[in-house]
Structure 1
């Protein structure tokens, strides 16, 4: 539909009607983004991103303005932050910081407080700002731990709130451990993961997302430290646990990491089998010329036991990268973005 039609339609609505339509649209898009995120539907998330950006351009200031359902609007904003971060939008951190500021000034004690900090920390890590992420998560973890340690009555709401506080604390520790690993502070990362497992497994359960998240982090840390056997053990356990919980067809993000460990251990057949799975999943998720699919296919070419195959894979990878460079150059010369 032509943009002018949208403008004419919008102009015919009263201010209250425009707000109502905008609010409903925001919640609808947040729900859709959350669903797609959980099911990793990348091809659907890309066009949704355009609609989200358009919706926010019509009323970004309203997202954090006073009024009814402010907490729900902040929650929607945090979902959009994850969408922005996934597609490397520069506004991701700024947007999540806006959500946190809104909570601090207008919604003290809101349930989105720690999720906002988690999102800022994740954004910092995505941008390679690991030390800032460490500082942020350290401070927030101490604050969250205090909430967990407060005495709790037998009241069901109090027990539920403590479990929520435990979950927030554990996720902050996960983010902290991940940031330590990226910053090459592997021993600290390992200690954080071990503490999380010891303290929060009784509260959250062995199969909780927070506890399971420590396994790939430990694997990453031990791999960096040269302990490939431990790295393999943690990754295999992580994948096994996920498949027990979600079924044999679950597309575990740790499969690629385990394939890399198998390569380090010179277990080429196993590595290639796993990377073939990753390519198959990527073919379901991405369009044919998507750079992520190209990357996974190129990596598969490298997972061969002979030097000749590796060199051949490198050549193919370079050729495809050069092709993308030429395409990008052509777009820029035409004034594209």
Structure 2
């Protein structure tokens, strides 16, 4: 039984109505420096796609420079949907830095009390990278009045947005590889973490732990948003691997078997949609974690990473369109993003609508 005092709140599914998207803009003192022009172009493409459908909140180090770049690319109407906030950062992975939002179906719609913004600790995926500046972003946005809702401090618990998936109802999905990885929340056991998750997210009655599906080159220890995504109508999109010579083959075969055994909270099998494993992409001899599963759902559209692999890109886009038939599916070349071991979903965080 959930005893959280915020029992009227729930973690919405990503496809529910949104009030905006958060981005953290790259600059020359981030790891993007060697290809800053290339990643800036990707950000401009994302900004263009997002602002066609909803507002965009961007934290930036140089607001004038970024505004000029956006003004050259976006229409006047799109620019009006952009808010720039001057704020320093270590890196740009908004998915794991920005607050995880809860919505209330009982509080008055449009009121600040209808949203809870959970501010967890981001520690660079288990203390691999510096994150002290990133950890201050949410508080700065909140104090500037740019986050609507009530900010809750949960800095005593490490939780990254990319490590969980919600169906908006009663089930939360995660991976044992990530949440049980070193330097996260030791000495908590899996049982202890499971209990904490159900307290943080009051609507969640069960946590589904996936045990397989680790992508080569992934810094996150296995974020679920790189391998399995939740869609409406009890649908799970997941990465499959057909090449028996691929290093991923056996692990992703076991993932597929685990997914086939899963049942919804009401006892029915999930509708499974299988996405192709992109052909291997290397950077200086290191395999990069290319995946079509790291898509972003926004109001009216889905932004999908592509990798200049026409056949597999098309298959992935068509399957994601099948999962989201009422949304426009927009492919964005993500070969530059994966050079820093993430993709579109990793760079973004949605803010739910509270009215």
Question: Fold match, TM over 0.5?
Answer: no
Query: Greater Rg, structure 1 or structure 2?
Result: 1
Relative contact order higher in (CA < 8 Å, ≥ 6 apart) = 2
TM-score calculated relative to the size of structure 2:
0.28
TM-score calculated relative to the size of structure 1:
0.29
The structure in which a higher percent of residues are strand is 2
